[in-house]
Amino acid sequence: MEQYIDGTIKPMTDGPQHDARWDAPVNGTLVTIGFAFLVVGAAQRYGRTIAFAVGVNWVLIVWAIWLGRILETRSGERDGLTVRLPAAYYAMHRFEKGGRVYDYLGVRWYQRLLRPILWSVNPALLRSRRVARQALIRATQDPEVGHLVIFALIFGITVWAVACAWWNTAAWLLLFNVLHNGYPVLSLRQIRARLNRHGGTT
């Protein structure tokens, strides 16, 4: 029987203690490998169909959500797949602050079309709620990066489809990637720009 420095008794164990710190990384790695096999198998069997171009988006979204739940802390500080980029990425550039660039790209129409499942922010209601406004600004960041990560992954799959001369598949992948990931990124940045115009900070 051993003692700690302060004199308390160290409990006896029959074998090596389990290090829980490795549970989340190991489980996250296993989940990622499993989803990678799923995507590769689906690409080999259904890669030349429109169903694959649509389905791979949702498969990767499920992967991101599941991985995020595995990696979140007990206190819930990491809710979802959290990838932090440099602060300069989240800052609004001069051409974004007016919001016109997003109007030209059709972001407002996209938001109206999908209003039931997208954020709907009325800056007028937040002018006197600085804390709430800043919380909303921060809350746009993780979903934006999540969609950006999935956009990059599907772009890689699109390049693979082009290399295989699967032109129809590449076209469908590009279209649905823009709709499922590209426009959500633009939409979240547009929301952040609107909130910043009313006194928020990133």
What does the pLDDT average to over 99-127?
A: 70
Q: Establish if 202 belongs to a structural domain.
A: no
Domain membership of residue 16 as a residue range: 2-197
Q: Which of 12-16, 127-131, 136-140, 156-160 has the lowest mean pLDDT?
A: 12-16
How many structural domains compose the chain? Answer: 1
Rounded Cα distance, 195 and 202, in Å: 10
In a domain, 105, yes or no: yes
Q: Per the domain annotation, does 168 fall within a domain?
A: yes
* Residue 144 reports pLDDT greater than 80: yes
40 belongs to a structural domain: yes
For residue 35, being part of any structural domain is answered with yes
Mean per-residue pLDDT over the chain, rounded: 78
The answer to whether 150 touches 62, Cβ cutoff 8 Å, is: no
Contact indicator for 195, 136 with CB cutoff of 8 Å: yes
What was the pLDDT predicted at 75? 44
Highest mean pLDDT among 25-29, 76-80, 133-137, 180-184: 180-184
Distance in angstroms (rounded) separating the CA atoms of residues 46 and 169: 10
The answer to whether the predicted template modeling score (pTM) of the entire model surpasses 0.75 is no
pLDDT of residue 104: 85
pLDDT band at 87 (very low <50, low <70, confident <90, very high): confident
Instruction: Give the number of C-alpha atoms closer than 13 A to the C-alpha of residue 2, restricted to the C-beta side.
Output: 6
Is 134 a member of any domain?
yes
Comparing 56-60, 81-85, 89-93, 180-184, the range with the smallest average pLDDT is 81-85
Q: Report pLDDT for 151.
A: 95
How sure is the predictor about 201, in pLDDT bands with cuts at 50, 70 and 90?
very low
- pLDDT at 20 exceeding the cut of 70: no
Instruction: Quickly list DSSP for 9-53.
Output: EEPP-SSPPP-GGGHHHHHHHHHHHHHHHHHHHHHHHHTTSHHHH
Among the ranges 89-98, 118-127, 173-182, which has the highest mean pLDDT value? 173-182
